[in-house]
Amino acid sequence: MQWGQIKTLFILSFLLLDIYLLVLVIQKQEDLSLLESIANEQEQDFLKQEEIIIPEKLPESLPEEPLITTQQKIFSEEEIEDIKERDNQEIEVVNRNFIIALLEEAVAIPENATSEAIAQLVTSAVYLGNEYSFDHWDQDRNIIVFFQKKNERPVYYNQNGVIIAYLNANNEIVAYTQSYLGEVEASNEEKTLIKPLSAIRILYDSNLLFAKDEVTEVEIGYHTFLPLDSGRQVLVPTWKIRINDSHNRLVNAYEQKVIPVNDDFVNIVLYSSIDNVRAIKGKEEFKKKMLDTITSKLQ
Amino acid sequence: MKLEVIKSYTLAILVGISLILSISLWSYSPNDDLLDEEQLLDPSELDLGGTEKTKKAIVQPSQIIFSKNKFQQSYFGFANPNDRIKLYNDMTSWVLYNFRAVDGNGRPNNDLLVELIYPEELPMEIIPNLFTVNNQDNFGIQENLSFQRVYITFSESTNSLTFIFLSTDGKTQLRADVNNTQKYEVLDNYIKNLTGLEEYIKLEDREYPVYLPIEPKMTYYTWTTYEPANEANIIKNALFPYPKEVVENRTEENITWYQDGTRAMQVFEHELSLEFIDPQEEMFVDPMNTIELLDKGIAEINGYKGWLHDYHLEDVNRMNNLITYQMHYKGYPVFNPDNLATIEQRLVNNELAEHRQPIYKIYTTASENYVLETGLDVINHLKNTNSLYNISEIQDIRVGYRLSYHVPADQNAYISLTPTWYIKVNDIWQQVLLEDDIHREEVS
């Protein structure tokens, strides 16, 4: 009988202990979620204080993803034949990796064409054009720049995955050059990506985003610091943030680090294109026309 | 009876729940993805096998000159530069008392004078980092003053020494005393008996003269090097934030690249040196002062015990935050145009943006006697009307080693150190080509 009473006593005391512990656990969880929400609010605070406008709908936060690598594609004989089989184009492939094309008839870009319409126009006419996305129309030089896509995301500023379409004074495409990145390989390790808002915050902290600025576009893509011509390139997920519809900033989405934008990118591509044109054997007339076109775009 | 069984089970369950709750309370922590991967590396994977150094050891004067001005001006410096380093290291432990700023009127003109000449202007604030300062609280100095020369004067009556840090504009002297008879005698002994010293000569009369040894005794050295082992990999581990994710590849041009998509490290031919680049947005750069630059720069290299050779600070370029450390051998500076004798760091916003470093390790050393042109030959040559140099533009002159190498097929690099005169013009060190050399160059 005594043992039974002791048991009852134990049951009661353990019940009390369990209730106490449970309360502690719940409190701890609440504290943490509260901290998180405060952090979130604070993250947003600077936007209000500095009157910085951001798009209403930012891209969703992204799950963990692996590091990917790629390499400049070396075309096979069959692929080169396929590349050259295009109507209304005279095409040369240099070093089995660089496509140079002159249009026999210039293609006019309709006035007030949207970027989608321009993209459609060019990508339908080039080899694997659906793998490229429109980046910008450089009105000073009158060229249109397209970046190649990997995993449905553009690879920013990579001279080994870019199309440049050359326009004449009448806004007609007269030629283009194209490079192509090959298959991607994913590594085993996965990493979390920073949220778009954190990327905007880093720009603000780095004095690259000011009061009353407007973030006009936020987009995820890839970037590499070292676009090697031979050997593998590491593509890092990168937020491209467009400010005041006038200039872009890149933020490494793995590390919260601003990536300096290479302002000289177009010139680098143009110079390497010139070298590639010069490497063509024979075809003097083609070379001359192409060189004239490209050199007129140098600044 | 049945009730008792139920009670037993209830008790057991309650005890179980309390255990589970306690464990979850103790081990509950938010997901932390920012786990520092470097900590997962074995310490040996972050150890280049060199040493760690302090600012005191890195910042060294390039010359210590004893001058006697009483009857006839004469100058002496150490015949063996290692003795200079030894004396200087001792000096840094001398306690400096009674700091006071005095309006200066250029260099002091005492009969007996010891002059320390640093290779680079240093901010006055760095003094407590280099010397032993008594009661640092009283070490009040005007900001933005820097010094390159320190003069030590003797006070015979009190057997004490006075250190004079002369501001580079010559207008302020920061003075401090050393009241230690023993240390007084050390310097007094050198300047009176000239033990271990040799005679120096001034290039020309200037407020801040350039001194050079009249007859330096030099030796020619050759090194063989170890086969390159894991050096590049260790520096990769140290400089990349996530070393395990770094991709290594060799291009068609036989250059090894390490990259993580954001940074890159290039290992040059024969694995003698490497270059690391972490591009930074430089639109707005917070200026860093010399002390901050040195602290951060030295700590980076200490982090992987990266001082494979003896290095002294050579230059701090505040314009672009570039620090240069010069290799020294037997106390003499070593020069090589391909960065095989210098470590260079560029810091932007407290991050290492660029890093260049030699990574070879010395295996054996051999030496031969060498006859170097005398200091008088060099001065005569420089003053010669046909000279390539304008004497007033020469900022400094040093005897050092010219490092050159060759790598026979399938062997490790051979490195030779040829004693050579160097002059600094426009902040760049260049070899003095004496006529014989010019002639030789023409023949070859």
The reported pLDDT for the residue numbered B83 is: 96
In Å, how far is A279's CA from the nearest CA of chain B? 18
CB contact under 8 A, A21 and B18: yes
- pLDDT averaged over every residue in chain A: 90
* Residue in chain B nearest A25 by alpha carbon: B25
Q: What is the dihedral of CA B49, B50, B52, B55, to 10 degrees?
A: -160
Ranking A136-140, B138-142, B145-149, B420-424 by mean pLDDT, the lowest is: B138-142
- Are A234 and B259 in contact (CB < 8 Å)? yes
Which residues 274-303 of B have a C-beta within 8 angstroms of A? 277, 279-284
What is the C-alpha to C-alpha distance for residues A118 and A114, in angstroms, rounded to an integer?
Answer: 6
CB-CB neighbors (< 8 A) of A21 in chain B: 18, 21-22, 25
Q: Which domains does chain B have, with CATH numbers?
A: 81-195 (no CATH), 223-363 (3.30.310.160), 379-443 (no CATH)
The answer to whether the beta carbons of residues A272 and A164 sit under 8 Å apart is no
Cβ–Cβ gap B18/A17 under 8 Å: yes
Q: How far is B287 from chain A (nearest CA, A)?
A: 14
pLDDT in tens, A103-113: 999 988 888 88
Asked if the Cβ–Cβ distance from B261 to A187 is below 8 Å, we say: no
CA distance B382 to A36: 71
* Measured CA angle at A240 (ends A136, B257), to 5 deg: 100
pLDDT of residue B439: 45
For residue B30, what are its two tokens?
A: 């938010």
Q: How far apart are CA A68 and CA B259, in angstroms?
A: 12
Q: Tell me whether B262 touches chain A (CB under 8 Å).
A: yes
How far apart (Å, rounded) are the C-alpha atoms in residues B301 and A191?
28
Note the pLDDT of residue A232.
87
Of all helices (H) and strands (E), which one includes residue A11? helix A2-49
Query: What's the rounded mean pLDDT across residues A199-204?
Result: 90
Cα four-point dihedral sign B373, B379, B383, B387: positive
Residue type (1 letter), A174: V
Nearest residue, CB atoms, B262 vs list A24, A189, A225: A225
Nearest 10 degrees: Cα torsion B292, B294, B295, B297: 110
Whether residues A225 and B250 touch (CB distance < 8 A) is answered with: no
- The size of the A-B interface in CB pairs under 8 A is 107
Give me the numbers of helices (H) and strands (E) for chain A, helices first please: 6, 13
Q: CB–CB of A218/A239 below 8 Å?
A: yes
Q: Looking at the partner chain, which of A28, A192, A259 has a beta carbon nearest the beta carbon of B25?
A: A28
Q: Interior CA angle at A115 toward A113 and A121, to 5°?
A: 75
Interchain proximity A7–B241, CB inside 8 Å = no
Query: DSSP strand E in A152-245: where?
Result: 153-154, 162-167, 172-179, 185-191, 215-223, 233-243
**Distance (Å) from the C-alpha of residue B357 to the closest C-alpha of chain A?**
20
- Minimal Cα distance from A263: which residue of B? B281
B346 touches chain A (CB under 8 A): no
B260 to chain A nearest CA, in Å?
Answer: 6
CATH architecture of the domain covering A72-181+264-295: 2-Layer Sandwich (3.30)
Triad B136, B141, B145: Cα angle to 5°: 130
Whether residue B281 and residue A228 make contact (CB cut-off 8 A), yes or no, is: no
Confidence of residue B33 (pLDDT cuts 50, 70, 90): very low
Instruction: Judge: A7–B7 Cβ closer than 8 Å, yes or no.
Output: yes
How do the domains of chain A map onto residue ranges? 46-68+184-259, 72-181+264-295
A260: chain B residues, CB-CB within 8 Å? 279-282
Tokens of B128: 């407590």
Question: Is A21–B263 a contact, with Cβ atoms under 8 angstroms apart?
Answer: no
Half-sphere exposure in the Cβ direction for B420 (13 Å, CA):
22
CB pair distance less than 8 Å for B264 and A225? yes
Given a contact cutoff of 8 angstroms between Cβ atoms, the answer to whether A232 and A71 are in contact is yes
pLDDT of residue B282: 82
- pLDDT for res B140: 66
Please give the residue that has the higher pLDDT: either A189 or A18. Answer: A18
Task: State residue B239's pLDDT score.
Answer: 95
Phi, psi torsion values for A104, nearest 5 degrees: -70, -35
Average pLDDT over residues B7-12: 90
Contact (CB<8Å) A260/B8:
no
| Number of residues in chain B | 444
The mean pLDDT of chain B is 89
The pLDDT tens digits of the residues spanning B66-97 come to 999 887 889 999 999 999 999 999 999 999 98
Contacts of A15 in chain B (CB under 8 A): 14
Q: Which residues contact B350 (CB under 8 A, 6 or more apart)?
A: B286, B288, B292, B296
pLDDT computed for residue B137 by the predictor: 58
- First and final C-alpha spacing in chain A: 100
pLDDT band (50, 70, 90) for residue B136: low
| Main-chain phi, psi angles of A57, to 5 degrees | -110, 105
Listed in sequence order, the residues at least 6 apart from B248 whose beta carbon sits closer than 8 Å to its beta carbon are B236, B256, B257, B258
Q: What is the model's pLDDT at position A123?
A: 86
Which residue is closest to A66 within chain B, CA to CA?
A: B245
Domain A46-68+184-259 sits in which CATH superfamily?
Answer: YycH protein, domain 3-like (2.40.128.690)
Chain A residues whose C-beta is within 8 A of a chain B C-beta are 4, 7-8, 10-11, 14-15, 17-18, 21-22, 24-25, 28-29, 32, 67, 69, 187, 189, 191-192, 206-208, 223-226, 228-236, 252, 255, 257-260
B28 touches chain A (CB under 8 A): yes
Question: Which of A193, A225, A259 to mutate against chain B (most B CBs within 10 Å)?
Answer: A225
Whether the predicted pLDDT of A53 surpasses 90 = no
Residue in chain B lying closest to A231 (CA):
B251
More confident residue, B163 or B29: B163
pLDDT at B444 over 80: no
Q: B51: which DSSP letter?
A: B
B21 in contact with chain A, both atoms CB, cutoff 8 A: yes
Q: Are A21 and B252 within 8 A, CB to CB?
A: no
pLDDT (mean) for B164-176: 92
Instruction: Tell if the CB–CB gap between A234 and B261 is shorter than 8 Å.
Output: yes
For the beta carbon of residue B313, count every other beta carbon within 10 angstroms. Answer: 23
Beta-strand runs (E) in B83-213: 95-103, 112-123, 132-133, 146-155, 160-167, 172-178, 197-202, 211-213
Beta strands A233-243 and A247-252: pairing type? antiparallel
Which residues of B fall within a CB distance of 8 Å from A32? Answer: 30
Give residue B438's pLDDT.
47
Kindly calculate the radius of gyration of chain A based on its CA atoms and give it in whole angstroms: 27
SS3 of B59, please?
Answer: coil
Percent of chain B predicted with pLDDT > 70: 93
Distance between CA B231 and CA B271 in Å, rounded? 9
- Indicate the residue of B14, B251, B284 with minimum beta-carbon distance to A15: B14
What value does the mean pLDDT take over residues B20-35? 69
3-state secondary structure A25-94: HHHHHHHHHHHHHHHHHHHHHHHHHCCCECCCCCCCCCCCEEEEEECECCCCHHHHHHHHCCCCEEEEEE
